[in-house]
Structure 1
Amino acid sequence: MWKASASVIAALAAAVAGQAYAEAPEPAPTAQICDRAPGAWDDTAQANAISLYALEWVPFGPSELGWEAYVPLIQHEVGSPCDPTSAGFAEALAGFQGRYGLAASGRFDQATFQVLRGLWQERRPFVMARVRGECPDPPPVSDLAYLTTGEEHAERLTRLLRRDVLDAYRAMATAARAEVPEIAAEPELLRVFSSFRDPEADAARCARDGNCDGLRRAVCSPHRTGTAVDLYVGHLQGMGVDSTDVHSRRHMSQTPTYRWLVKNAGRFGFVPYVYEPWHWEWVGR
């Protein structure tokens, strides 16, 4: 999981200093014209089309090639359903950049992503607690409730969530299956493969496995709060349901399940962790 660093704290500060949003703006209707008159934003759209697959950058630590894995969240944040290679997307991105004090070029770059990441992270109360140097206490056992076997992913049995979070998860999963045929047709989709994790057991496991690096498994994990869920959104054949390989994350980000979550999870009080398409945290409504 993510851990606080000077660069991220700076990004958070920059986001707060700009025009703050409690939630992302509602995307424009899909009927919005995404192409513009010839000449308007054409060069910018072409630059985005190239960098979408070829940008060499370091958004979270490991180097990555391209930014396709982050497109659904970016589209939602800038309020545009347009393809990232279109003139309409470039225009919407330029508007976002201007609102946050960046050069309104319409071109995706690491500086723009830093502000986006700051916005996404500051919506996670757990992250803000970690920035303050705090590690939230786990809830009392009496506040936890059991998932049913039909709510747990077959690969991992997880068992517990905070009661109010479990209610919100159930409402969200029911809505998703009613609204998206692909989700309704595949029972494993949106099942939970990690939820509440006992802090002592989690610490012992990450110490044993040697992966307490702040990305794969944090020393102080949000799963200790009983408000974090890892949801099955699909996976790339040959890779795990929580593989952080860039190809795996890119695949997950293009699934109907993940795209529905980006647009709708906020209705049920859930916010994403951008680096892990499967990880969502309940913050209330």
Structure 2
Amino acid sequence: MMIKPLRKAVFPVGGLGTRFLPATKAMPKEMLPVVDRPLIQCAVDEALEAGIEQMIFVTGRGKSAIEDHFDIAYELEATMSGRGKSLSVLDGTRLKPGAISYVRQQEPMGLGHAVWSARHIVGDEPFAVLLADDFMVGKPGCLKQMVEAYNKVGGNMICAQEVPEDQTHMYGVITPGARDGSLTEVRGLVEKPAPGTAPSNLSVIGRYILQPEVMRVLETQEKGAGGEIQLTDAMAKMIGDQPFHGVTFDGRRYDCGDKAGYIQANLAIALGRADIGESVRAFAVDLLR
């Protein structure tokens, strides 16, 4: 079996971010910072570490701040340079010319529709999908762990993580097959199963490696859970036609689409920072006292 190299990644960033209103009224939720690094920057950093060469952003109205973030800021850089300040803090915000593409998802019709909107840029290549809301912390990063597994077995791959039984209705859930270390054969997928009906507690987290054939499935995919075109439903139709595995991430995930998860991520990262960790820890101890 020939395994095509993974060069492209899709970032669906067209969501409205209603759970973080009013903060996201004028700012994309993907630009919310974890300490001082926007969520979308963290996802791009993860993709770069995994060897991704082309970033494809599926955007919507009001998302121009994301484009500006990954562009050259002449006035800022000239002012900083003129004052003798290092520009290293901006590393990662300026990628090579042509390394980023943007396409609009005109209607919020679900994750599957967002991914399908990038079909012409993806072309006939395997591609990754990264959801910036899922903030993944580990060494190596989540996508790099998945790429290392993908280079061995090929096919389609999802990040998998165990969740409490009473939370399975919030996720796509795997029907598991054979297990080999961090790899689990995927025999079935169901999006947001009714409470008590989930085939396991192994959930689908926001990292995927998919073969281009999924675009042809999404072309005719009907609406599923929530009245949206679900990526999980399209992936389920590919099981049996191509190898399909879940990779259990060796690290920690923070759900930054949830307010509590977002605060937890900020606290955890702040505590691990050499520049502010001691101060934040002292404050937290005093606050909890």
TM-score normalised by length of structure 2: 0.29
More helix by share: 1
More strand by share: 2
Greater length-normalized contact order (CA 8 Å, ≥ 6 residues apart): 2
